[in-house]
Chains A and B, each alone.
Chain A
């Protein structure tokens, strides 16, 4: 199963990157969101998949899944959510101010 999950994560990375290399601002943000999905799945797969019960302690269970990657992913989800929403508002504002959402037109000044 880990191999399949690795492939899924790889596909998420690839699709995320492809979107990241687009011209349209919105699709770049989509790309970052896909990339973070890929990363989360990656972290989860790197720990062992399915070794026991959910990590909520109970008297009759001795085998639990690894809680540490879950904690890391939880942190990461929240951070990437904050980042994605920031990027979205930035996209919105940039497109509004410059009247375009084409990255090729947003190149900055020539006399920099």
Chain B
């Protein structure tokens, strides 16, 4: 058993729901107890979808467990088919139904429905959400595109205009909606036709046509890597490896795609402008140099973000981690590049401890790291799922492509600017016009609410008044660290009191 308060990923059947909900004309019948319908609200609330996910739950209860759950399941499949008339169906079990061992695939087959029915085996007690999405997409692609596959060894017939599929976007994906638009636009400007985008927006009929494209663009390997591998074996379609997050990676992506399509990337590269690249070079960004950044998320976004942070923002990566165990190897390779210890864990307490040890000035992570950052008083930006409702924004905000690079620059720098603003206000707090009781000049009378700054309680060694005063001059977001380090320094040396000298000795000792 594993003790958990917070989980980075849901169970695998939620991954299957993400595929089904992203697609059209597909219906998912999930053998599950009453209550598992909670997952619907991830789609209707967090992603704000305007229709129910295409999922029918059998919602069995204790009194059904005597033996007719199989009958219940068959009735649910039959009724879902009759009501929704999908082009294809997927059937499977949630964690509880996995234990009662009805066979969804066999039961559905016995109904002889006039549409393809894809059975899913999603082991809930060993696998998780992204694996579930990947497996579901792979099984759908195999079942629906499989019959079109040419005999092994058949060479691809070169088409007139180069074409590709875009693979990986799903419902509830972090910025999938806008990434697809950004990348499809980029491919369009290169003169490459996009045949099928899947799973998001695709119908089962669309999946049967996957083999027609020349190659595949894999945006999210966590979800589409497995299916792309099968398509490569079955249709000889090559797949992109570069994740176009950041200016450099987007340029590399354009070159990779051009090579696959047999075209010249130069015109597109010359025409594209990244505002982010110029912003990063502008003098205003000099203070970003060497800022210590901790990166955590799914492997694809974390690895890409670390590269952007180091090479395009001039930050120093002091921590890199992922919750995607399936991609631990890729993450370890990236961590080696920045000479940091790779962190592969699903335990947010381990992430919190690693952040505490690394003492970063910026955290790039998920919703959870946002809250860790809030607790530690460190600026933070979100780069990866899981995310809350505000990270499914109304405005256009891709992570990928050239516009994605612009979005990243703004998103990451903003919390640092806010931190700097806070610091400046804090520094000036003792000035006559900025002190806590001073009223804002533009508001006329009335005192402003005092800005409460929580100070850590004094440690074992006594701080002299002078040293305490000096400590207050240190920016609030590193003040806690300075206090802890100084006290540790004093304790290790058995000092009874902390003077100005101790403070600066400690600073010299710990400066990295």
Is A bound to B? no
Q: Which residues on A are within 8 Å of B, measured CB to CB? A: none
